[in-house]
Structure 1
Amino acid sequence: MPENTILSPQDALVAIMLAVSVADESIRTAELVQISNLVENLPVFANYDQAKLSAMGPMMLRLLDQDDGLDRLFELTRRYLPERLWETAYALACDVAAADGRITDTESRMLEEIREELAIDRLHAAAIERGARARFQRM
């Protein structure tokens, strides 16, 4: 992302979801479908221009390809996402990670990084994680 990048709060949420999806260097269809469904259906995205969603993917890949890309992602997230939505960002990240029925070690480390960078209380994080596991259980 260019140095003068400005994100909407919704862009920051999408960026966090995409970061989890690309964490294991394998963007799965289930994860992309989940991101799209969340953007289409959640109230936090009610005024979001969904056309921006397709532009966010390549922008995130370029950002995360940089040496300091992950640090820059968290810097942008903390700057443009209101603190009251940090738990929302973590919940969305957990849903994306769980969407394909398994959370890889790399995705788990990314979730841990998000949890730390966004100062998510450990007890709250555990509840959010359990909710994601419950929603994506398979028969």
Structure 2
Amino acid sequence: MLALPGFVVTLIALRRLAMRETGTPAGGGQASWRLLRETMSGRLLIMSWLLFAGFWLVGILSLGGTPGVAEQRAGAYVASNHGEVTVISKAQYLTLKAQGQRSVVSAAGSFCVFTAVISTALLRRGERREAALP
């Protein structure tokens, strides 16, 4: 939940950047890429992209192949999948709970990486503009 406000503010800042540079919000991708190339090193961009993709990969892999959502009902551990309930062991229950938490944390992590990289680029551009002023 804490990553979401920063992510939204960063998206708004990117939209404003696109409007300022291209005149339309549709040019946001080009404006964002130009911003990143001007302010960030190539190594940093590659590492941040790998980290971002890694978070999403972990999230996607943690969702695949699960028999359902882990729940406790009447003292038994069950996996509920669209109304179909399957009794599972405590070990399977704990594994399913961990997979659910892993997917949430990986999504938040990818949002945080995106926010950190874009906000750093925006701050660096602002510092350069201030330094160029007389």
TM-score scaled by length of structure 1: 0.29
Kindly indicate which of the two structures has a greater share of residues assigned to strand.
2
TM-score scaled by length of structure 2: 0.30
